[in-house]
Amino acid sequence: MSKPRRGALFVAILSAGASGVLAAPAAAETLADAIALAYQSNPTLQAQRGTQRALDETYVQARSGYRPTLSVSASATYREIDVPGAGGAIDTNGDGIPDTIGRGGTTIDRSGSTALVLNQPVYTGGRVAAAVSAAQADILTGRENLRRVEAQILAQVITAYVDVRRDQEALRIRIEDQGVLQRQLDESRARFEVGEITRTDVALSEARYAAAQSQAQVAQAQLAISRASYTALVGQSPGDLAPEPSLAALLPATVDGAFDVATENNAQIRAAEYAEQASRARVAGARAERMPSVSLQGRLGFSGEVQPIETDTWSRNITGTASVSVPLFSGGLTSSRIRQQVERNNTDRITIEVARRAVLQTVTQAWSQLISSRANITSTAEQVRAARIAAEGTRQEQQVGLRTTLDVLNAEQELRQAELSQIAARHDEYVAAAAVVAAMGRLEAKNLTPTVPQYDPKTHFRGLRITWGWVPWEEPIAIVDGALTPKPVEKPVEGAIVATPPIGVPAAPIASTPPVQ
């Protein structure tokens, strides 16, 4: 971990002071600020974008099968020949001139050659077309995985945001409780001094005050933990966070509507569908191994002596070749590969249904949690109202001797517990709403922070369409080669849904959002 990151986490912990609302020097004031910062800087999301850009290169690599290849080769040869002889002049190289005199001689040959070879595929039987289709489907799958990771990160940011706000409120309640119990303890000691109550009443007040101190410390520690989680996701320590805005604009009216949107827009389902298209293309690629292939080759070669180099004496060789290759027998290898790819395609087809059922289960669970949490908001609001009246009444009744110190302490404890339950219900409702939006495939930066520049993976891919190595005649070759190859079909993505007011602007309290059916 780098020193700046360690420092940020350290600030996140230390800035959770006794009041629970101390802000770091630079803080995300709204949920939109936190989402925008995480969207731009979260390392997990950035790594996934890099993975997608690397995946885009598989398309270029697949299309290179349509393009010519050019290679150059060169070789040099040194040869020494010892020729024994009986005397006289001996012609060892056949040029009519005696090379050695006497009993024998040595001949040294220094020759070299170079060649330039150009190879152009004309028809591959659909092999390259299948590889291109599979690469395109894999890229579409990668884009959906990027959407899925983005939704996961944004859901974690939302959860961390409301965790901090919940824990700030919890710490505030615990500190208020500590102050109330401190006053109650002082009052009990004063009344004990004048003989109105017993030592037992004082001990009860002391015990509750000590428990309140402990609970305040626990709440402060929990806030520090939540702040550290927030910092790890967003990249900076949270400050004075604004209330959470409503997500009602992204939620449908019924659970059936959520199912319909999820079926068409959920990244997990869409990724499974594109994976099936990729494996279907690979089936076509395996079958293409039975088809003939046609290629053209041109070769320009030179050879001659290299010491000394006299290019005028070098020979030149120009060769043009058109070759047709027809596979006849592969020992069952091609048939086995076809069967293998067919079974993988069957598995991917089944995986689509597995993903659909898993998503529908997630939607059902999140929707049920949303309904339960909204019901809890109403119940806890009534509970707080009643507990506050009961606590006030108990304190007044104690003044006239109708209630004991224990009654007052219990009433205060019930009030604090009701207040904690209320903030927990609001927290759970917002997290459940975000979970429903994520399961539907709508938890995206374009819906949450429409004013922030969005990362578009298609931009990088479009830049690879014509790159170094592209030749104009690869297009007609691709059309002929892919005539019988299935092409991936890209499904449209749901457009941006802009909330009114935007997500970054705090709206009405969560409890006032329209109830779901």
User: Among 452, 433, 504, which Cα is nearest to 250's?
Assistant: 433
Residue 503 in this model has a pLDDT that exceeds 60: no
The pair of structure tokens assigned to 172 is 């505030």
| Greater model confidence, 201 or 8 | 201
CA distance 123 to 481: 6
Three-state helix/strand/coil letters over 15-78? CCCCCCCCCCCCCCCCHHHHHHHHHHHCHHHHHHHHHHHHHHHHHHHHHHHHCCEEEEEEEEEE
Percent of the chain exceeding pLDDT 90 equals 56
Tokens of 256: 């059936």
User: What is the model's pLDDT at position 310?
Assistant: 67
Q: Whole-angstrom Cα distance, residue 515 to residue 517?
A: 7
Residue 96: what pLDDT?
59
Give me the count of residues in the chain: 517
* 119 bridge partner residues: 69, 297
pLDDT in tens, 159-198: 999 999 999 999 999 999 888 888 888 888 888 888 888 8
* pLDDT computed for residue 297 by the predictor: 93
pLDDT at 246 exceeding the cut of 60? yes
Cα separation, 162 vs 426, in Å, equals: 9
**Residue 429 near residue 510 (C-beta atoms within 8 A):** yes
Q: Reply yes or no on whether the pLDDT at 82 is more than 80.
A: no
Higher pLDDT, 218 or 398: 218
Position with higher pLDDT, 296 vs 309: 296
Q: State the sign of the Cα–Cα–Cα–Cα dihedral 417, 419, 422, 424.
A: negative
* Pairs from 6-15 (Cβ < 8 Å, separation ≥ 24): 8/231, 8/235, 8/236, 8/237, 9/228, 9/231, 9/232, 11/231, 11/237, 12/224, 12/227, 12/228, 12/230, 12/231, 12/237, 12/238, 13/224, 13/227, 13/228, 15/227, 15/237
DSSP state of 93: S
Residue 100: what pLDDT?
52
User: Which residue blocks in 242-310 are alpha helix, DSSP H?
Assistant: 255-265, 267-287
- pLDDT for the residue 507: 41
- Strand 104-123 and strand 293-305: the pairing is antiparallel
Q: E strands within 85-171?
A: 89-90, 100-101, 104-123
Measured between its terminal Cα atoms, the distance across the chain in Å is 47
Task: Indicate the average pLDDT of the chain.
Answer: 85
Among 107-111, 116-120, 326-330, 387-391, which stretch is predicted with the lowest mean pLDDT?
A: 107-111
Tokens of 163: 């965790």
Taken in order of first residue, the domains within the chain and their CATH numbers are: 3-70+112-512 (1.20.1600.10)
Reported confidence tier of residue 303, pLDDT bands at 50, 70, 90: confident
Give the mean pLDDT of 8-20. 43
Q: Which two tokens stand for residue 294?
A: 């046609």
- Helix (H/G/I), strand (E/B), else coil: 237: coil
116 neighbors 317 (Cβ within 8 angstroms): no
In terms of Cβ atoms closer than 10 Å to its own Cβ (0-12, 13-18, 19+), residue 456 is: exposed
The answer, yes or no, to whether residue 263 has pLDDT greater than 90, is yes
Q: In the numeric block, which tokens belong to residue 16?
A: 């959770």
Contact 277, 489 (CB under 8 A): yes
Retrieve residue 169's tokens.
Answer: 């409120």
Task: Give mean pLDDT, residues 56-72.
Answer: 92
Collect all residues with Cβ–Cβ distance below 8 Å to 249 and sequence separation of at least 6: 497, 498, 499, 500
Residue 85 pLDDT level (bands cut at 50, 70, 90): low
